């Protein structure tokens, strides 16, 4: 697709132990789309996400972000454009204060101090953590840590936000807060999750991955309502559909 912001073609990944995690995956995501990625355990979801900013490299196939190939020459540019939020926010918070964690990425870009301050303030406001700048990250609630990890990525001003199980371990209030915040961001989202209700509310389109292959993609509500298909790929049709 000429207008795809994320363009993955015939992607294959085989781990060093011989495990084939992805097999000829082709997908296209347009600018501004919010797309869910679902599938059973071991389907290859996390492996796919890690290819989108160069944490993993393909055994075969290609990844382009906004027309830029993900290769050794362009990996730094791609990483500035794709923000990756890991499943455990503790993996992304390592500084003394929340302000320092959110400012870390922009500082590494060599931005002027006033720009770093502005980006930090905007990112914290976007996730509802303004006013907690001096808080110690390990004193935050789990939901606040999740928001802080997202803010640390947003401060880099990526074009794409890629998230792995963002709603896991959140209570209902934290889950609702996260849903509302992501819905208002206005950037391209790819969200991998087992929480089908979360995906249904956030993502108009869904990709089903099973056995390292894309089984189907389409409108989320329509696909989730197909009970036979969902069962075939290790997923439960939500009861409210």
Number of structural domains found in the chain: 1
Domain presence at residue 136: no
- What is the reported pLDDT for 103? 94
Q: What is the pLDDT of residue 171?
A: 86
Residue-level pLDDT at 89: 85
- The whole domain housing 171 covers 4-94+159-232
Q: Is the dihedral of CA 211, 214, 220, 222 positive or negative?
A: negative
Residue stretches of the chain with pLDDT short of 50: none
- Asked, for residue 55, whether it belongs to a domain, the answer is yes
With respect to residue 195, please indicate whether it lies within any of the assigned structural domains.
Answer: yes
Q: What are the residues whose beta carbons fall under 8 Å from the beta carbon of 25, sequence distance 6 or more?
A: 8, 10, 11, 12, 44, 48, 61, 209, 212, 213, 214
Domain assignment of residue 152, yes or no: no
Say what the pLDDT of residue 241 is: 64
The pLDDT value recorded for residue 1 is: 54
Cα-based distances in Å from 150 to 94, 109, 191? 14, 18, 13
User: E-strand spans in 18-138?
Assistant: 20-30, 34-38, 60-65, 68-69, 82-85
Question: Is 133 a domain residue?
Answer: no
Q: 71: domain CATH number? A: 3.40.50.300
Spatial neighbors of 129 by CB under 8 A, at least 6 apart, are 98, 144, 147, 148, 151
How many other CB atoms sit within 10 Å of the CB of residue 137? 23
Domain assignment of residue 112, yes or no:
no
Task: Look at residues 116, 109, 118, 151 and name the one whose alpha carbon lies nearest to residue 132.
Answer: 151
Sign for the CA dihedral angle at 197, 40, 58, 2 comes to: negative
Q: To which H or E segment does residue 119 belong?
A: helix 113-126
Q: Please indicate, yes or no, if residue 190 is contained in any of the structural domains.
A: yes
pLDDT in tens, 164-190: 999 988 888 889 988 998 998 889 999
Residue range 138-148, pLDDT digits in tens: 889 888 998 99
pLDDT at site 87: 86
Residue 212 lies inside a defined structural domain of this protein: yes
């Amino acid at each position: 697709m000429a207008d795809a912001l994320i363009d993955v073609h015939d992607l294959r990944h085989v781990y060093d132990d011989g495990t084939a995690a992805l097999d000829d995956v082709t997908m296209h995501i347009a600018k501004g789309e919010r797309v869910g990625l679902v599938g059973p355990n071991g389907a290859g979801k996390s492996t796919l996400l890690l290819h989108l900013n160069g944490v993993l490299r393909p055994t075969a196939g290609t990844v382009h972000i906004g027309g830029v190939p993900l290769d050794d020459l362009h990996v730094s540019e791609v990483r500035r454009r794709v923000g990756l939020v890991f499943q455990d926010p503790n993996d992304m918070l390592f500084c003394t204060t929340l302000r320092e964690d959110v400012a870390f990425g922009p500082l590494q870009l060599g931005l002027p101090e006033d720009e770093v301050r502005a980006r930090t303030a905007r990112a914290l406001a976007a996730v509802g953590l303004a006013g907690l700048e001096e808080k110690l990250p390990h004193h935050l609630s789990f939901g606040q840590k999740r928001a802080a990890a997202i803010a640390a990525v947003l401060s880099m001003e990526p074009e794409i936000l890629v998230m792995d199980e963002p709603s896991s371990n959140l209570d209902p209030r934290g889950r609702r807060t996260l849903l509302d915040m992501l819905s208002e961001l206005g950037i391209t989202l790819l969200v991998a999750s087992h929480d089908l209700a979360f995906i249904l509310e956030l993502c108009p389109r869904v990709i089903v991955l099973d056995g390292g292959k894309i089984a189907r993609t389409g409108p989320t509500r329509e696909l989730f309502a197909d009970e036979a298909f969902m069962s075939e790929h290790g997923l439960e049709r939500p009861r409210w559909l």
